[in-house]
Amino acid sequence: MSVTVQDLRAWKSEGRRFAMLTAWDYPTARLLDEAGIPVILVGDTLAENILGYSTTLPVTMDAMIHHCQAVARGARNALIVGDMPFLSYQASLEEGVHNAGRYLKEAGAHSVKFEGPLPEFAAALTRVGIPVMGHLGLTPQSVHQMGGYRVQGKTEEAALRLIDHARELEEAGVFALVLEGVPRQLAQEVTQKVSVPTIGIGAGPDCDAQVLVTSDLVGLSERRLAKFAKAYANIGTEIRRAADEYRRDVEDGEFPDDEHSYH
Ligand code: KIV
């Protein structure tokens, strides 16, 4: 690892923006790392983008650890953040600390992220030396409580509550804070009010950093992209084209003819 949580704090004070992307496997982690992405999130969106579930809720701690291990083998420089899946930390502090510790102990992550205003959990992690990133606003693990994936913090009361939660997480020791699905002005205000970097997704351009789900970035998602997400490539179309071409070659008996060697 060469990027540290201290680097991210320093970058905020220097006004240096940075990008975070998700990865769930070795080749993607290697390519993102080679592209200079400083922070790789092993996101619980694994559930939707790789495992085919319709929400992030079903993904297990064991599945997250399995994928994080592959990411850790691929990334040499990036700071790796392991996302805490639904019900791996909400039931008790003890279970949460144990599960978070698994990321560092078994999976090669350098830090963890969890959703929601749980400063006592953030404090428990920092107490035992586990760097932790917060995540406020639209928190997908609460999709049923929110009644869908809706922008949060739209009323003055909700905005003030979110600012309080951000400050509480900061005091509890988070090293960065994801702000998802909140109005631009609120994200800007939180960014000014906390000393740790804010990492926005659907939160406007004024956060200290931005995060995207890599399947959206490269055009591998099935679902329609959110307005804020930009596809920088269309790998899905390329895979379909290559598979179609290969299928036709096989059907037509077109085959590379050297059968004696692999290289
Ligand atoms: O799991 C994930 O991909 C995330 C990002 C959307 C921040 O939590």
Residue 17 lies in a domain: yes
Which residues line the pocket of ligand 1, CB cutoff 6 A?
22, 41, 43-45, 83, 178, 180, 201, 211, 213
Residue 259 lies in a domain: no
Give the residue among 93, 178, 163 at the shortest CA–CA distance from 130: 93
Residue 258 lies in a domain: no
**Any idea what the CATH number is for the domain that residue 226 is in?**
3.20.20.60
Residue 256 lies in a domain: no
Coil, strand or helix at 154: coil
The percent of residues in the chain predicted with pLDDT above 90, rounded, is: 92
Q: How confident is the model at residue 228 (pLDDT cuts 50, 70, 90)?
A: confident
Give the residue among 44, 248, 208, 232 at the shortest CA–CA distance from 139: 44
Average pLDDT over residues 171-194: 98
Residue having the nearest C-alpha atom to atom 3 of ligand 1 = 43
Range of the domain at 118: 5-251
pLDDT score, position 1: 62
Residue from 48, 170, 180, 189 carrying the catalytic annotation: 180
Residue 197 lies in a domain: yes
Residue 26 lies in a domain: yes
Asked whether the CA dihedral 96, 100, 181, 158 is positive or negative, the reply is: positive
Domain count, the chain: 1
H or E, element range at 249? helix 235-251
Write the pLDDT tens digit of every residue in 121-170.
999 999 999 999 999 999 999 999 999 999 999 999 999 999 999 999 99
Q: Ligand 1 pocket check: which of 48, 57, 178 to mutate, most ligand atoms within 8 Å of Cβ?
A: 178
Based on the residue annotation, tell me whether 156 is a catalytic residue of this protein. Answer: no
Tell me if 151 sits within 8 A of 110, measured CB to CB.
no
